[in-house]
Amino acid sequence: DTGVSQNPRHKITKRGQNVTFRCDPISEHNRLYWYRQTLGQGPEFLTYFQNEAQLEKSRLLSDRFSAERPKGSFSTLEIQRTEQGDSAMYLCASSRRGGLSRGKVFFGSGTQLSVL
């Protein structure tokens, strides 16, 4: 168990470019979440998956954002036509419904996105 892994750690891009982030959850965790955190604020929920099904998307998630979790393992978050307002830390988290770790949600180290 190596924890929730996110890549890349940092991403600098020019406005209008597309970016993709990857998250590898803790093995056997069936739930995966994406959050966004801006400086001085708490994380904000974006979307989550149970296995491969995307169960909910926040209103914060514009049409430029898309997330996938093929085969219920790793997940990707893509942002198309990035804007400066997209600059933030993107955090991935995972949990396992039921079992001894009931209720615990584990976060990855995040991907810091800077849009120039």
Partner 1 sequence: ELKVEQNPLFLSMQEGKNYTIYCNYSTTSDRLYWYRQDPGKSLESLFVLLSNGAVKQEGRLMASLDTKARLSTLHITAAVHDLSATYFCAVDLDFGNEKLTFGTGTRLTIIP
Q: How far apart are CA 68 and CA 57, in angstroms?
A: 12
Binding site for partner 1 (CB under 8 A): 31, 33, 35, 40-45, 48, 55-56, 91, 95, 97, 102-110
Contact 31, 92 (CB under 8 A): no
Give the separation between CA 20 and CA 37, rounded to whole angstroms: 17
Q: Could you tell me the smallest distance in angstroms from the CB atom of residue 1 to partner 1?
A: 14
Q: Which is nearer to partner 1, 7 or 80 (CB)?
A: 7
Smallest CA-to-CA distance from 65 within 42, 88, 93 is with 88
Minimum CB separation from partner 1 for residue 113, in Å? 14
Q: Which is nearer to partner 1, 21 or 35 (CB)?
A: 35
Q: Which is nearer to partner 1, 18 or 41 (CB)?
A: 41
Q: Among 81, 69, 2, 77, which Cα is nearest to 36's?
A: 77
> C-beta of 40: minimal distance to partner 1 in Å?
8
Residue 84, CB-side half-sphere exposure with 13 Å CA sphere: 1
| Cβ at position 64, least distance to partner 1 in Å | 22
